Amino acid sequence: MEQIGSYTTIFIALGVGVFCLAAGIFVSWLVRPMNPTPLKMEPYECGEPAIGPARVKFRTSFYLFALVFVIFDVEVVFLFPWAVVFQDLGLFAFIEMVIFIFILLLGLAYAWRKGALRWR
């Protein structure tokens, strides 16, 4: 690991960088005046009045579906290494995986039953 040592500089530099960053933020947070006038709060400082809300609202249902999808999608990651060496692992690993998938399914069933999948 001796080539690591010579890169200490970089680590130190990073540390110092992080420190400067933090210090900067801290100082500005200390000294900045805090008087938000409605005009300042305008999204466009040129004074152009903003029409309509700044952020477009999605229905939270989208997020819910996204959540469920992400979880089950990612958990499948575990299937790949298992599938690759399935031959030499044999029955035991198969049972393990069945249990794993059963747990996932249980979760899915729960989400289903609790109406997380219903479009509201």
Partner 1 sequence: MINHAWIIPVLPLAAAVIVALAGKRGDRLAGSISAGAIFFSLIISLKFFAAFLVNPAAKEVSWVWLKSAGNLTLEVGMLIDPLTVIMLVVVTFVSLMVQIYSMGYMAEDEGKARYFAFISLFTFSMLGLVLANNLVMVYMFWELVGLSSYLLIGFWYHKPEAANAGKKAFVVTRFGDLGFLIGILVLGYFLNTFNIIEVGTAAQTGKLTGGLGTCVALLIFAGAVGKSAQFPLHIWLPDAMEGPTPVSALIHAATMVAAGVFLVARVFPVFTASDTAMLVVAYVGGFTAIFAATIACVQDDIKRILAYSTVSQLGYMMMALGCGGYFAGVFHLMTHAAFKALLFLAAGSVIHAVHTNNIWEMGGLIKRMGITGTTMLIAAVALAGVFPFSGFFSKDAILFAALDAGRMDLLVLGIFTALLTSFYIFRLFFVVFTGKPNSTQPGHESPAVMTMPLMTLAILSLGLGFFAARFEHFIVASLGANREILHQHNRLVPMFAFLAVLFGFGWAYLVYFQKAISATLLTRKFSLLYKLLKHKYFIDEIYLFFVRYVMLVVSAGLAWFDRQVVDGAVNGVAWLCRRMGAGIRRLQVGRLQAYIFAFVLGLIVLAVSLLVTHPDVMAIIP
Partner 2 sequence: MSNWFILLPEIILAFTIMLVLIVDLISTSCQRLWLGVLSLVGILLTVICLWIVPSGAFGEAFLNDGLARFIKSIVLLALLLVVLFSWDFDKVWGRPLGEYLVLLLSSGLGILFLASGTEMILLYIGLELTTFPLVLLTAYCPADKKSAEGGLKFLVLAALGAAVLLFGFSLIYAAAGTTQLQALVPALIQTGNTPLVLMGLLCILAGLGFKMALVPFHMWVPDAYEGAPTAITAFLSVAGKTAGFVLAIRILATGFPVQVSEWSRIFAVLAAVTMCLGNFAAIPQTNMKRLLAYSSIAQAGYIVMGLVAFQVLGLSSILYYLTAYLFANLAAFGVVIAVERSSRSVELSAYHGLAMRSPRLALIMLLALLSLAGIPPLAGFAAKFYLFAAVYSEGYIWLVVLAVLNSALSLYYYLKVIRAIYIQKPAADAVQPVTVPLALTIVLVVTTFGILALGVYPSPIVDLAREVVVLFLTP
Partner 3 sequence: MMITLTHYLVIGCILFAISMYGVFTRRNAVALLLAIELIMLAVALNFTAGTRFLGDAGGQIFAIFVITVAAAEAAVGLALVIAIYRNQKDVDLDRLTILKG
Q: Which option in partner 3, partner 2, partner 1, none does residue 19 bind, with CB closer than 5 to 8 A by kind?
A: partner 1
Q: Which option in partner 1, partner 2, partner 3, none does residue 113 bind, with CB closer than 5 to 8 A by kind?
A: partner 2
Cα separation, 87 vs 78, in Å, equals 16
For position 8 contacting partner 1 by CB under 8 A, the verdict is yes
Of 92, 69, 67, nearest in space to 82 by CA: 92
Q: Which option in partner 3, partner 2, partner 1, none does residue 94 bind, with CB closer than 5 to 8 A by kind?
A: none
Cα separation, 13 vs 117, in Å, equals 49
Cα separation, 8 vs 14, in Å, equals 10
Among 1, 3, 6, 32, binds partner 1 (CB under 8 A): 6
